[in-house]
Structure 1
Amino acid sequence: MIKIVVIDDDCLVTQALATIINSELDLKVAATGHSAQEAITAYSSYRPDVLLLDIRMPQHTGLEATKTILQNDAQAKILLLTTFTDDDYISQALKLGVKGYLIKQNLNAIVPAIRAVANNQSVFGNEIMKKIQPQASQITTYNLSLTPREQEVLTLVAQGLNNKEIAHTIYLSEGTIRNYISQLLDKLQVRDRTQLAIYYYQKLAHT
């Protein structure tokens, strides 16, 4: 059972999200809240598998709550929800190390996104990817001593594809993809695929 905490300043949105999530047999909402402080407290109390967190809230934002939570638990899996595709929010979210960033109106994507984040995958909605992907060609400007194939795998990881999907996309075996990802983790000195994605987007933002 995947345990989730849902935080949104709109009570109706919180209730709707909780209803959608609890209708799934493998998902359970352990707690809900409506502020950044409640997010911090609920995460500490319930240690959810996934924290579903709104960005824009009164007094303190979801980004501020995210920063505090990740400082206390670097392994926290946080999926941010927003009605905005503001570039600055996206940049801040990636730099903080969130697992995902979705537009909350895309309700059909929320349950699959929760499952993916619980499985340690990065998830970014189509609206978010449209903000970032136009810069993808700039990956070749990195001075990382990466091979063209490693750069290709890094790009696909950053887009949220799993090993099977990457293997299918570039016609390699899943075992080969695992080897490439291990090489990337070692070369870039990061701990997991989420950090690979964050590294990719941070570098793009500065090119």
Structure 2
Amino acid sequence: MDTEREPVRVVVVDDDQLVRMALRLVIDGEPDLTVVAEAADGDAAIAVVEEQRPDVVLMDVRMPGRDGLSATRELLTRPAPPRVLMLTTFDSDDLVLGSLRAGAHGFVLKDTRPAQILDAVRTVAEGNPVLSPAATARVIAAATGPQSSHTRDATRRAARKQLSALTERELETARAIADGLGNPEIAERLHISVATVKAHTGSLFAKLAVENRVQIALLVRDAED
């Protein structure tokens, strides 16, 4: 019986027409993804999302008029909101953290390889957060900050105690998440299927009592520092 799913519906938001065109070409080249609309600023993004009801919005952070952070906050207050993946040329801490605080489900730099951007769209469409490796590193650095040696030791012990509940394979998966890898890259690194990666990640969420992959990355960083 044919159970093929409908393509993931994507709205592309960027003030640069060439960027929108490039993203549309890349996304529409995939059988499981399709661009249903474009917008050049935050206000237009809200309007087209209201009309099209996409699964994922690829949202530029900095745009004239209403920016991507403001538009994201507005979209996520509405019923049945889309998943929002922030896309920008900038990678400063305030933008990464600001995007996450706004409720974004991911943050990817525009110089990320097209294949990784496509994987990021698929990942957030499945309900999982995603950050580029550079963004993950910045979130970890900004969230932890300098600590005294006493506090550092206590944090390390607590993190290691939490991670001790994991199997070896789950720990390898956690370390790959801390490196900013998405599920396909983790599967390739560990020589396992993507379905198995998802199963291990689900176990990590349950055993570590975390809500997202960034929290997993923070625990790994704390344990290994």
Does the alignment pair 1:178 with 2:202?
Answer: yes
- Scaled by the length of structure 2, the TM-score of the pair is 0.69
The CA deviation string for residues 92-127 of structure 1, in whole angstroms up to 9 with x for no partner, is 112222111111122422111111111222221122
Q: Which runs of 4+ in 1 moved over 3 A?
A: 132-143, 145-150, 152-166, 174-180, 197-204
Please show how residues 86-97 of structure 1 align to structure 2 within 5 Å.
Answer: 86-97=92-103
Structure of larger gyration radius = 2
Aligned equivalents of 1:161, 1:17: Cα separation in 2: 20
- Aligned residue identity for 1:110: I
2:77 counterpart residue number: 71
CA contact (8 A) 2:11 2:36 kept: yes
Change (3 A) 1:57 1:136: closer
Aligned equivalents of 1:157, 1:33: Cα separation in 2: 32
CA contact (8 A) 1:163 1:178 kept: no
Does the alignment pair 1:59 with 2:65?
Answer: yes
- Scaled by the length of structure 1, the TM-score of the pair is 0.74
Residue in structure 1 matching 2:23, options 17, 27, 34: 17
Aligned equivalents of 2:36, 2:214: Cα separation in 1: 28
CA contact (8 A) 2:55 2:125 kept: yes
CA contact (8 A) 1:91 1:202 kept: no
In structure 2, runs of 5+ residues without a counterpart are 1-6, 145-151, 191-195
Aligned equivalents of 1:23, 1:111: Cα separation in 2: 10
Q: Work out the percentage of aligned pairs sharing the same amino acid.
A: 28
**How far is the alpha carbon of 1:196 from its aligned partner?**
2.5
Aligned equivalents of 1:12, 1:178: Cα separation in 2: 38
**How far is the alpha carbon of 1:140 from its aligned partner?**
3.8
- State the secondary structure of the residue aligned to 2:69: helix
CA contact (8 A) 1:157 1:196 kept: no
Change (3 A) 1:112 1:164: closer
**How far is the alpha carbon of 1:146 from its aligned partner?**
4.4
**RMSD between aligned alpha carbons?**
3.8
Residue in structure 1 matching 2:138, options 105, 128, 131: 131
The CA deviation string for residues 22-47 of structure 1, in whole angstroms up to 9 with x for no partner, is 11111110000100011111112111
Change (3 A) 1:162 1:15: closer
**How far is the alpha carbon of 1:201 from its aligned partner?**
8.2
CA contact (8 A) 2:11 2:37 kept: yes
- State the secondary structure of the residue aligned to 1:71: coil
- Aligned residue identity for 2:100: L
Aligned length: 195
**How far is the alpha carbon of 1:13 from its aligned partner?**
0.8
* Range 131-140 or range 58-67, more displaced: 131-140
The CA deviation string for residues 138-170 of structure 1, in whole angstroms up to 9 with x for no partner, is 664879x946446x677765646559949x86x
Please show how residues 33-182 of structure 1 align to structure 2 within 5 Å.
Answer: 33-73=39-79, 76-108=82-114, 109-134=116-141, 140=156, 146=162, 148-149=164-165, 159=180, 162=183, 165=186, 178-182=202-206
1:191 counterpart residue number: none
**How far is the alpha carbon of 1:61 from its aligned partner?**
1.0
Aligned equivalents of 2:184, 2:33: Cα separation in 1: 24
